[in-house]
Amino acid sequence: MDKDLEGFGDPTEVWKGLIDFSDSVHAFSESELLDQYLHEWVAVHDRKVVSHAGSFDEVLSMVETENIPRESLIIRYVNDEQRVLIL
């Protein structure tokens, strides 16, 4: 393994983690998430919603109760406002 990449760990595990993360991010782009959890904080793990609530702290507390590792979790506030990106 290249010396510069040693700190990232096993390449197979890194690849799996990237795929899982990508799938979880994709879950946030689904319109049903917008319809179902509008104006709530939502936590996604392993491609599925594992918690949702009105505050970030509530979601984080629920996730910690379930012992879901933070490094494989995505938490986002769901709203219907359009974002303007300047590139």
N residues, the chain = 87
Domain boundaries, the chain: 3-78
Model confidence at 11, pLDDT cuts 50, 70, 90, reads confident
Q: Of all helices (H) and strands (E), which one includes residue 13?
A: helix 11-28
How many C-beta atoms lie closer than 10 Å to residue 41's C-beta?
A: 20
Determine the distance from the C-alpha atom of residue 23 to the mean position of all C-alpha atoms in its chain, rounded to a whole number.
9
Q: What is the pLDDT of residues 40-74, one digit of tens each?
A: 999 988 878 899 999 999 999 999 999 988 887 88
Give the separation between CA 82 and CA 27, rounded to whole angstroms. Answer: 18
